[in-house]
A and B are shown apart, each in its own frame.
Chain A
Amino acid sequence: MRHKVGRLLTPYLFLAPNMLIFGIFVVLPMVYGLVYSFYRGNFIGGLQQFVGIENYRQLLEDRAFLNSLAQTVVYVLLVVSLVVVISLMLAIALRTTTLGSALARVGFYLPVILSPVVVGVAWRWMFSSDLGVINALLSSLGQSPIPWLTDINWARAVVVLASVWSMVGFYMVIFIGGLNTIPTELYQAAEVDGASPRQQFWQITLPLLAPTTLLVTILATINAFKAFEIILVLTNGGPGDATRLLVQNIYLTAFEGANPTYASAQSVVLFAILMVLTLMQLRVSRDT
């Protein structure tokens, strides 16, 4: 009898450590965050007053929040479209099995394994207005230097490029996987029929790759919405707040503005966006 109870408990005991960590450090904070978003309070006194949806209502009039949301959307659109196009081009160019392609694949993938902080430092070192090598090259060519990280539009461009640079290798690998599932007979048949490489791309590769492209688009969108560290190191959200995105705004609201409840409402908005995208991703990955 005792033995049987023991057997019944065994799987739960094996699961316990992992579930305990999940419960305390993922599920509990998630519930906390949701509850917090309906309260007013601070780090010292805790929750002080239930305010219903007041925090959410306030978000609709909060210029700093709406600004960061709008900037995030533009950033996501730019990063994702560049990532999809460039990683697809890389995948098509580098899927061959030659030594050169293999080496180039490793090269284009390498930034993926670098930490976002390292990526930020590397790009800041190249694009620094007074000390960076890009401006040094420009001035030795007789051109005037460009304020890469202190001009609003240039800073936004550098932030987008650095992010794309750090991501394309990852999606290139997924695209290569997708390309490898397209039967080669299709291309042979197309060649026999006299289809040009361009026709083959538009009429075979792209349509058959559509599920992979959709998957890459969603994954890249999720990652772009979470952007924080590279930008923190590159521009710290500046100049002004020109490159301040959602996650940084949440951080600043909570820890510098000492307003964890209001920041929680912003987190819930971010979570809702990511949730919709993830559910889309699960559907797409199941269908492919």
Chain B
Amino acid sequence: MNKNRKRRTRFARDALVVGLALLFLMPVIWVVLSSFKPDAELYLVPPTLLPREPTLANYQNALTVGHFATYTWNSFFVATMSTLIALLTNSMAAFALAKYRFVGRQALFLLTLATIMIPLQVIMVPIFLVLRNLGLTDSLWGIIIPPAATPTGVFLLRQYILSIPDEILESARIDGASEWGIYWRIILPLSVPALATLAIFSFTWRWNDFIWPFIVISSEQKATLQLALARLVGQFGVDWGTLLAATVITLLPMLIVFLLLQRYFLSDLTAGSVKG
């Protein structure tokens, strides 16, 4: 009897918190629901919650007339390439910092960490000038290469590589392995869990980046999703149907990654490294 009541209150509590979470998520839910409504229904007073005549017209418009297929490809290309470069360069640096003793090791490690203190917001003016001098403005490489050297990535991988026993490396050296061979055939395969974590975070950071493309990219056909969305919303007389469908296209990959891997995001071990 008592147990039953306890179970009932616990169920009521669970229902309440889930209900509150859904209410909290209303801004996103409303975007998704609205994106399936035809124009006439979009601005209806009183508004309908669920689309009465669900349509994919907004998505068709966004992908064709709105060029969002191009922007999606640009975002995908940028996030993928930048992540691959980050995995390679960060793991190489992390290997050196974790497994070699050399002059300046501590200084270089601290310098790497110190770059966390310099957010893009602070250097957006001079970085534009540097990229211009290198001919990287209005180029996708201008938003792929600079953010790839993530300090968080180096730190994360270094901590992981430190836990790999030195004996493995020593016996490989005795067997005649080159230093590069040790990195490529021993360190990398053993670091897969940490590399996977970094890959997930790096991809989401780069997919969501806005300030980089905002400063670097000027031509329309090189815009990423974030940049195209921000430009579209600022226009006079916004076509909300197209804009909302484009918003869903932009958030969908993040939503899928998050729901599949939410334990990575919600564990307080990595919580400190989610922004970067």
Residue of B nearest to A124 (CB): B233
Contact of A21 among B97, B149, B234, B251 (CB under 8 A): B149
Rounded to whole angstroms, the CA-CA distance of A139 and B46 in the bound complex is: 8
Contacts of A136 in B (CB 8 A): 43-47
Is chain B's binding surface mostly helix, strand, loop or mixed?
A: helix
Rounded to whole angstroms, the CA-CA distance of A26 and B146 in the bound complex is: 8
Render A88-118 as a binary contact track against B, CB cut-off 8 A, 1 for contact.
0000011000111101111111111111111
Would you call A115 and B275 a contact (CB within 8 A)? no
Q: Does B183 contact A (CB under 8 A)?
A: yes
Contact of A122 among B13, B28, B154, B210 (CB under 8 A): B28
Would you call A232 and B93 a contact (CB within 8 A)? no
| Interface range for A | 35 or more
Would you call A275 and B268 a contact (CB within 8 A)? no
Would you call A122 and B31 a contact (CB within 8 A)? yes
Would you call B204 and A173 a contact (CB within 8 A)? no
Q: Does A70 contact B (CB under 8 A)?
A: no
Rounded to whole angstroms, the CA-CA distance of A30 and B265 in the bound complex is: 31
Would you call A233 and B233 a contact (CB within 8 A)? yes
Would you call A173 and B43 a contact (CB within 8 A)? no
Q: Which of A50-58, A73-81, A125-133 contacts B (4 or more CB under 8 A)?
A: A125-133
A74 to chain B, nearest CB (A): 19
Contacts of A123 in B (CB 8 A): 27
A84 to chain B, nearest CB (A): 16
Contact of B240 among A11, A120, A131, A165 (CB under 8 A): A131
Would you call A121 and B233 a contact (CB within 8 A)? yes
Q: Does A250 contact B (CB under 8 A)?
A: yes
Render A228-246 as a binary contact track against B, CB cut-off 8 A, 1 for contact.
1100110010000000000
Would you call B233 and A120 a contact (CB within 8 A)? yes
* Contact A105/B266 with A29-B123, A264-B125 known, Cβ cut-off 8 Å: yes
Would you call B46 and A170 a contact (CB within 8 A)? no
Contact of B46 among A11, A15, A137, A233 (CB under 8 A): A137
Is chain A's binding surface mostly helix, strand, loop or mixed?
A: helix
Rounded to whole angstroms, the CA-CA distance of A25 and B126 in the bound complex is: 9
B90 to chain A, nearest CB (A): 6
Residue of A nearest to B101 (CB): A11
Would you call A25 and B130 a contact (CB within 8 A)? yes
Q: Does A40 contact B (CB under 8 A)?
A: no
Rounded to whole angstroms, the CA-CA distance of A99 and B93 in the bound complex is: 41
* Contact A11/B100 with A105-B266, A118-B250 known, Cβ cut-off 8 Å: yes
Contacts of B34 in A (CB 8 A): 125
Tell me the chain A residues, 12-35 only, with Cβ under 8 Å from chain B.
Answer: 12, 14-15, 17-19, 21-22, 24-30, 32-33
Q: Does B148 contact A (CB under 8 A)?
A: yes
Q: Which of A61-69, A183-191, A194-202, A266-274 contacts B (4 or more CB under 8 A)?
A: A266-274
Contacts of A36 in B (CB 8 A): 125-126
* Contact A173/B108 with A17-B92, A115-B208, A125-B34 known, Cβ cut-off 8 Å: no
Would you call B105 and A11 a contact (CB within 8 A)? yes
Would you call A29 and B97 a contact (CB within 8 A)? no
Would you call B145 and A21 a contact (CB within 8 A)? yes
* Contact A14/B95 with A32-B126, A264-B126 known, Cβ cut-off 8 Å: yes
Contacts of A251 in B (CB 8 A): 124
A150 to chain B, nearest CB (A): 14
Tell me the chain B residues, 92-115 only, with Cβ under 8 Å from chain A.
Answer: 92-93, 95-97, 100, 102, 105, 108, 111-112, 115
Rounded to whole angstroms, the CA-CA distance of A120 and B226 in the bound complex is: 11
Rounded to whole angstroms, the CA-CA distance of A175 and B224 in the bound complex is: 34
Q: Does B64 contact A (CB under 8 A)?
A: no
Contacts of B89 in A (CB 8 A): 17-18, 21
Would you call B247 and A121 a contact (CB within 8 A)? yes
Residue of B nearest to A254 (CB): B125
Render B235-247 as a binary contact track against A, CB cut-off 8 A, 1 for contact.
0000010011001
Would you call B251 and A114 a contact (CB within 8 A)? yes
B213 to chain A, nearest CB (A): 10
Rounded to whole angstroms, the CA-CA distance of A274 and B135 in the bound complex is: 30
Contacts of A133 in B (CB 8 A): 30, 47
Q: Does B196 contact A (CB under 8 A)?
A: no
Would you call B17 and A104 a contact (CB within 8 A)? yes
Contact of B21 among A99, A107, A120 (CB under 8 A): A107
A13 to chain B, nearest CB (A): 8
Q: Does A10 contact B (CB under 8 A)?
A: yes
Rounded to whole angstroms, the CA-CA distance of A100 and B18 in the bound complex is: 6
Would you call A19 and B17 a contact (CB within 8 A)? no
Rounded to whole angstroms, the CA-CA distance of A121 and B228 in the bound complex is: 12
Q: Does B254 contact A (CB under 8 A)?
A: yes
Q: Does B179 contact A (CB under 8 A)?
A: yes
Q: A122-B30, A137-B47 are in contact. List 4 more A-B contacts (CB 8 A).
A: A14-B183, A43-B129, A100-B14, A228-B211
27 residue pairs from A and B, CB less than 8 Å apart: A7-B179, A14-B95, A21-B89, A21-B146, A30-B126, A33-B122, A36-B125, A93-B17, A99-B14, A100-B13, A104-B18, A106-B266, A109-B265, A113-B254, A113-B258, A114-B208, A115-B254, A122-B31, A125-B34, A125-B240, A125-B244, A170-B274, A233-B229, A255-B128, A264-B126, A270-B121, A278-B116
Closest 4 CB pairs of A and B: A100-B14, A107-B21, A177-B268, A115-B208
